[in-house]
Amino acid sequence: MPEAPAIDGATHLHSGKVRDLYELQGGPHDGHLLMVASDRISIFDFVLATTIPDKGEILTRMSLWWFEQLADLVPGHVVSTDVPASVAGRAVICERLDMFPVECVARGYLSGSGLLDYAATGEVCGIPLPASLVDGSRLPEPIFTPATKADLGDHDENVSYDAVVDEVGAEAAATLRHLTLAVYARAETVARERGIILADTKLEFGRRLDGPGTVVLGDEVLTPDSSRFWPADAWTPGRPQASYDKQIVRNWALSPESGWDRASGEAPPPIPPEVVDRTRARYVEAFELLTGERW
């Protein structure tokens, strides 16, 4: 993975698959965090050498739009968008939070790791589901299916609600479940009005470093990197769904065209320009359909 760029007045703290995190020093935002979304793309836990132009800005602008839509449900971590010129458009200044060590996932449809768990046990995260569901089935009601936070290069692991209680306590676990499902319900309605199905989404929460320990929504929110968005008019249960995300890259990597052997343990080769262009177009389409704004 490329080194995070140096930014004047900021100390690099951490890099994930897509985002770089810095601490700001001096000025009005001293001690706050600067979160920068890069154009990196990852598949199968590999960060690829090829980037997707504008991806970081698309993710940032989409998250900012969603934070506004959700402001009455839960406070967001964004403090300012007045960021250094070198990262303008793809970074936000945010609060320093005590993050919960839980990936908060809401699912309204069966897909991904949830589908694998269901096929093996008839359950997802310990929640029994009706028999005869298939890939893409709508669930009777949305469910909270948490996961552990994995280190870079490792897989998140789905866990039960009881495991979350053991990790953060009963009161915090109930708050995380309530907020996750409330955010999903709001976003699912908004997306459906725009002809898009929100199949599932991953959220992250933290506590403010204040007396009450207010729970705050952090990281990215309801982007194609953290959510499964499907075109509603193409939804057909029983098969993989078309999606507004990096599935184009995954499909290419698994095709004979790429020449990649997943079992080798080596990263996929560089992405061809036409696959890059199609992927970028898919991110732009999702942004425009959901926000109503032109890219």
Contact criterion met (CB below 8 Å) for 249 and 279: yes
pLDDT at 10 over 60: yes
The per-residue pLDDT for 150 is 64
The CATH number of residue 112's host domain is 3.30.470.20
The per-residue pLDDT for 211 is 78
Where do runs of H (alpha helix) occur along the chain?
55-70, 112-121, 161-168, 170-193, 247-254, 273-291
Is residue 161 one of the residues assigned to a domain?
A: yes
The per-residue pLDDT for 149 is 77
pLDDT at 5 over 90: no
Query: Smallest Cα–Cα separation from 246: which of 6, 17, 52?
Result: 52
The per-residue pLDDT for 78 is 98
Contact criterion met (CB below 8 Å) for 109 and 139: yes
Which three-class secondary structure state does DSSP give residue 49? Answer: coil
Contact criterion met (CB below 8 Å) for 62 and 272: no
The per-residue pLDDT for 67 is 98
CB neighbours of 277 closer than 8 A, spacing ≥ 6?
Answer: none
Instruction: For residue 36, count CB atoms less than 10 angstroms from its CB and return exposed for 0-12, middle for 13-18, buried for 19 or more.
Output: buried
Band of pLDDT at residue 1, cut at 50, 70 and 90: low
Rg, Å, the chain Cα set: 19
The per-residue pLDDT for 176 is 98
The total number of structural domains that make up the chain:
1
Query: Is the pTM above the cut of 0.85?
Result: yes
Is residue 137 one of the residues assigned to a domain?
A: yes
The parent domain of residue 211 ranges over 102-234
In the chain, the amino acid numbered 187 is: A
Question: Which is higher by pLDDT, 138 or 247?
Answer: 138
Band of pLDDT at residue 154, cut at 50, 70 and 90: low
The mean pLDDT of 170-183, rounded to a whole number, is 98
Q: 9-33 burial, b if ≥16 CB within 10 A, otherwise e?
A: ebebeebbbbbbbbbbeeeebeebb
Contact criterion met (CB below 8 Å) for 278 and 246: no
Band of pLDDT at residue 45, cut at 50, 70 and 90: confident
pLDDT at 191 over 70: yes
Contact criterion met (CB below 8 Å) for 254 and 262: yes
Is residue 124 one of the residues assigned to a domain?
A: yes
CA distance 59 to 64: 9
Is residue 139 one of the residues assigned to a domain?
A: yes
Contact criterion met (CB below 8 Å) for 29 and 257: no
Q: Name the residue with tokens 């609600």.
A: 161
DSSP classification of residue 76: B
Per-residue pLDDT tens digits for 87-120: 999 999 999 999 999 999 999 999 999 999 999 9
Average pLDDT, the chain: 94
Tell me the torsion sign for CA atoms 252, 254, 260, 264. positive
Is residue 95 one of the residues assigned to a domain?
A: no
CA distance 256 to 274: 16
Instruction: For residue 289, count CB atoms less than 10 angstroms from its CB and return exposed for 0-12, middle for 13-18, buried for 19 or more.
Output: middle
Band of pLDDT at residue 155, cut at 50, 70 and 90: low
Is residue 254 one of the residues assigned to a domain?
A: no
Is residue 19 one of the residues assigned to a domain?
A: no
Is residue 267 one of the residues assigned to a domain?
A: no
